Chains A and B, each alone.
Chain A
Amino acid sequence: MAVVNKKGLLFVLILLAIIFPLIVPNQYYIHILTLAFIWTIAVYGLNLLSGYTGYLSLAHAGFFAIGAYSLGLLTVKVELNYWLAFMLSPIITCIIGVMIGLIALRTKEHFFAIYTLCVGYIIYLIIDKWDSLTGGVRGLIGIPAPADIGFISLSTPLSQYYFVFIILLLVIFTVYRIVHSLTGRSFTAIRNSEPLAQSLGISPMRNKLTSFVLSTFYAGLAGALYASFIRFIGPEIAYTTITFDLLTYMIVGGIGTLSGPLIGTLLIVWLSQNLQFLQDYRMLIFGPLLTLIIIFAPGGISGTFLQWRARRKEKQRINMTTMKKQA
């Protein structure tokens, strides 16, 4: 019964996303939603590492930027075929991710967070200062939109919306499969207790590295999409502001849950749109929100809901058994 409901809900959501541009034929909203989908992909990456494996990475804007700059440089400077560049960008991000992960994952907890924060800052500084390669503060202009696939043109905002949406679905599906696989369970085991996981025969380093690299893959993919969607990138996409944005999306939605990144990103992006008048001051609201959520509902929206449902079921079960006993 519950499975049918879940599938039904999923189906309704997908349908809603498909018909959204038809109901709201407003270019601006379609643009914002496409962008929100791109952020969601990056948040799924962050969630895999921080939520499921328990390693809070603060370098994700950096990996996002590596993906974006890979695509930008490969298409603008190397003039590679768009789709080849699009495939290569997340892979380049992964390769850099392996190198950083190998060292970063030797550290734990606070050290890992501080280490990755510094890695993120170094990536930002390199992009900002390496003028001859990245264009420095001026950024990279003239990145091509996704090339046509056969007859399907991907140059209109509407087609790009569907393109990003399909990729998002693929991302959610793959994350779902990863989380429910043996590897995913190993991630959770490491999060809960690394020594215990190790004593059960799970190799912490190998699994943590897998999680780290997968999470950089999603960040790189999101970055590549961002570059070809916005078509202009500057060093500020690697700055800690973006990392903290991603973190906010994840925490509000629900860290370590499958639906959290989607809910959190869509909600915060929607709120930001409605709080446009706040502009740069939106953190006046989201900063305390982040702190309050972490104090009172550390599971975020999804986590709190799941907890509440589990508790209700437990209560029902207890009621049932007492009723049976009385009868």
Chain B
Amino acid sequence: MDIFIQQLFNGLTIGSVYSLVALGLTLVYGILHIPNFAHGALYMLGGYVTLTMMVYLGVNYWISILISIITIGILSVLMDRLVFHPLRKSTPIQHKVAAIGMLLFLEALAQLIWGADYRQMPTPYGQVIQFADVTLTVQRLIIVVAAIAVMILLYLFLKKTFMGASILAMAQNREGASLVGINTNKVAVITFFIAGTLAAIGASLTSPINLVFPGMGHLVILKAFVIIIIGGMGSIPGAILGGYILGFSESIGATYISSDYKDIIAFVLLIVILSIKPQGIFAKGGV
């Protein structure tokens, strides 16, 4: 039973990070219908920027995260303006290839700057807490709390501000949003900024318990895609729920089935879902 609760907590930790990354992906997909394969590279760079700030420049953990958020947010916006904006009238295959091109570039860039080594990010919160029978590190607790706080902030932004409502409007109906005078360019920029921000937060939070390396975005982005397909492409509650579902299934699967194959769980889940419902569950209308 202790192991089970412990694993539930681990699932909550991983799930929080998955949800953050999937949220950015789903926001971008919702308004522009682009599956941004380069989102994983943004996640990876987010980890590196925080690492560099902390280790090489000795900046405080939270300020490092803030710098990372701003850097990756701007990078994400640049990607939209330079790559996706010029492609807005082209075929879906072109979006995907362009995104893959950016992914390859950013990964090579990270390798050039930081090398191919696996790096460990130090954490100021390495303490261990014993809570009943469950052992947890403060860092993991921070991940869960911070992720939930970010999600609440995002929710408030989307529901309570004009800009947030514009994003939701554009996700619902792009032409309709243009017709009522919403500046779609501005919405795209803000959305890409938020997506980059979320990726940077996810990476910065999880890096102290995982490792930082150029390929760290590969698995995360694939899983984020699985999550948003499970939760419905473009759906925000779906991304959050999907993230936690995947987090729990992985941590429980790793303990009770096989830790070697735990990464496969997500993909098997996806294959099963897409085999039964080719449009994903909770799909809104057509593709």
Contact = CB atoms under 8 A, between A and B. Distances in A.
A49 B212 CA distance: 36
A302 B100 CA distance: 21
Contacts of A281: 108, 111-112
Interface string A91-111: 000000000000100111111
A50 interface: yes
Given A117-B222, A118-B267, A240-B218, A110 B92 contact: yes
A294 interface: yes
A109 B108 contact: no
B105 interface: yes
B280 interface: yes
Q: Which of A54, A126, A129, A294 has the most CB of B within 10 A?
A: A294
A280 B94 CA distance: 25
A8 interface: no
Interface in A225-276: 240, 244, 247-248, 251, 255
SS of B interface (majority): helix
A288 B105 contact: yes
Interface string A105-129: 0111111011101110110011001
A117 B97 CA distance: 13
Contacts of B279: 107, 111
A300 B190 CA distance: 32
Contacts of A169: none
A283 B278 contact: no
B103 interface: yes
B178 to A, nearest CB: 22
A106 B274 CA distance: 8
Contacts of A113: 35, 96
B191 to A, nearest CB: 17
Contacts, number: 125
A78 interface: no
A106 B225 CA distance: 18
A119 B264 CA distance: 10
Contacts of A289: 101
A27 to B, nearest CB: 30
A294 B101 contact: yes
B58 interface: no
Interface stretch (B13-21, B83-91, B120-128, B158-166): B83-91
A63 to B, nearest CB: 16
The 9 A-B pairs with the shortest beta carbon distances in the complex, nearest first, are A287-B105, A290-B101, A291-B101, A287-B104, A283-B108, A106-B278, A283-B104, A118-B267, A284-B108
Given A110-B33, A282-B108, 5 more contacts: A115-B274, A251-B97, A281-B111, A287-B103, A289-B101
Interface of B: 33, 35, 83, 86-87, 90-94, 96-98, 100-109, 111-112, 116, 218, 222, 225-226, 229, 233, 260-261, 263-264, 266-268, 270-271, 274-275, 278-280, 287
